[in-house]
Amino acid sequence: MLGNKIVEQAIAKGHEVYSTYRHNPPRLGVPLVLDQTIQAEVEKVVSLASPDAIVNSAALTDVDLCEELPEMARFVNSISVSHLASSASAHKAFLVQVSTDYVFSGEKGMYSETDPPSPVNEYGRSKLEGEEMARLAGEGNWCVARASVVYGWGRPQRGNAATYVYDKLSKGEQIRMVQDQYCSPTYNDNLARMILEIVEKRVLGVMHTSGATRINRYDFAVLIGKTLGLDAGLIVPVDSASIPWKAKRPRDSSLNVQKCAGVLDEKPMSAAEGAESFWKEAKVRAGQVA
């Protein structure tokens, strides 16, 4: 959902891009099969591509699965990053590690880059460890870009908060959304542009590259539904305590994006701007299908 957008925009700007994958071949870029959890494979691919920059958008993002299989989460979200960072250091490549708002406890909300992380689940812990591993790329050679609830159009097998609302409401089906969990929804096209600018400018350190709006999941779903012209009355607000999640979720993991807005030309979109862009892209895609 994110990687394809980054590749698409990078190629449009004249960059040569190698697109690594395991199971689903990319639409654009030079395709290279890679299992990032195997160090020898990472070293081989990085040596072959000899990149100026590496962007890691691959992750195990199923929060409950990470809770059930913490070692798998660690291999995918942390150990694989150490392999990328080691190879980035060896080849003097700039590493951008895409991370998450779930590195925070959710007790405060509107977290800045200087707030201390304190994850409450295995997904957050594995991603935080991945952030630490990214630093192995060497001083002045890495950036951690944190996002929150990334949504947008991508491969059909990668559903997300916005496409879920679209699919269900389009069929006239009722859905339940939590109203007591806050985040900063991030439109994938906007995130990809921010990350590409980070690469081109070699912006260092930790950067919050989420959407600009703090909003709860229910209100965001309603916003998407109304923007798409669908019946938002089918969306039922519920409390998170009624959802049988295996992993604890942060109550408010929203991110402060002032630093990002001050550094990048591509500004973080508000939830309303992202929803409108999501709708415009839906109409374009529908026209392409037709």
Write the DSSP string, 73-131: HHIIIIIHHHHHHHHHHHTT-EEEEEEEGGGS-SSS-SB-TTSPP--SSHHHHHHHHHH
**How does pLDDT run across 205-251, given as a tens digit for each residue?**
999 999 999 999 999 999 999 999 999 999 999 999 999 999 999 99
**Distance separating alpha carbons of residues 256 and 163, to the nearest angstrom:** 25
In this prediction, residue 127 carries a pLDDT of: 98
102, 126 Cβ separation under 8 angstroms:
no
pLDDT reported for residue 290: 39
- Partners of 146 in the beta sheet? 99, 208
CA angle 89, 92, 94 (to 5 degrees): 85
DSSP lists the bridge partners of residue 267 as none
φ/ψ of residue 158, rounded to 5: -110, 75
> Cα separation of 125 and 77, whole Å?
9
Question: What pLDDT is recorded for position 288?
Answer: 58
Cα 51 to its chain centre, rounded Å, is 22
Q: Are 224 and 162 contacting, i.e. CB atoms less than 8 angstroms apart? A: yes
Q: Between 3.40.50.720, 3.90.180.10, 1.20.120.790, 3.30.360.10, what CATH number should domain 3-289 receive?
A: 3.40.50.720
Q: What pLDDT digit, counting tens, does each position of 49-108 carry?
A: 999 999 999 999 999 999 999 999 999 999 999 999 999 999 999 999 999 999 999 999
Q: List, for residues 22-45, the tens digit of each pLDDT value.
A: 988 899 999 999 999 999 999 999
- pLDDT, residue 156, reads 67
pLDDT at 158 over 80: no
C-alpha to C-alpha distance for 145 and 51, rounded to whole angstroms: 19
Given a cut of 90, whether residue 155 has pLDDT beyond it is no
Q: Convert 89-107 to b/e letters by CB count within 10 Å (16 or more is b).
A: beeebbbbbbbbbbbbbbe
Taking only the tens place, the pLDDT of each residue in 176-209 is: 999 999 999 999 999 999 999 999 999 999 999 9
Smallest Cα–Cα separation from 82: which of 112, 39, 115? Answer: 39
Domain limits of the chain? 3-289
Of the candidates 154, 135, 137, 141, the residue with the CA atom closest to the CA atom of residue 61: 154
> pTM for the whole thing?
0.96
Task: Compute and round to an integer the Cα radius of gyration of the chain.
Answer: 18
